[in-house]
Amino acid sequence: QVQLVESGGGLVQAGGSLRLSCAASGSIFIINGMAWYRQAPGKQRELVATAPNIGNTYYADSVKGRFTISRDNAKKMVYLQMNGLKPEDTAVYYCNANIKSTLGDRARNYWGQGTQVTVSS
């Protein structure tokens, strides 16, 4: 069984910063890509940023230059540093990871439970 647990959300004023963390635990052989998504009220879930095991990070245009994704493979964690927050960044933020539990398993996508980020104007 694999679990992803996010932390770090909260209420912040526009222009402020937050750092989200996501810890993966359980039966993990290898973690491939890790990513952050968000879902605002009444909107579809959207990709915010990705951090592949090998290769370049990706950012949605709406967060480029303000958000930074990073990962610590030894700790099985992924982070999202959010600076210059805007009210339109208000959403539930979800951690996503593509994980193989054993050598013989196929990789599967796992989701965290989400953490609320609210940015006041």
Computed over every residue of the chain, the mean pLDDT equals 96
Q: Which amino acid is at 112?
A: G
Helix, strand, coil shares, percent, the chain, to 5: 0, 55, 40
Q: Give strand pairing partners of 50.
A: 35, 58
**Contact (CB, 8 A) for 39 and 91:** yes
Residue pLDDT, tens place only, 67-121? 999 999 999 999 999 999 999 999 999 999 999 998 888 999 999 999 999 999 9
Percent of the chain past pLDDT 90, that is, above it, reads 93
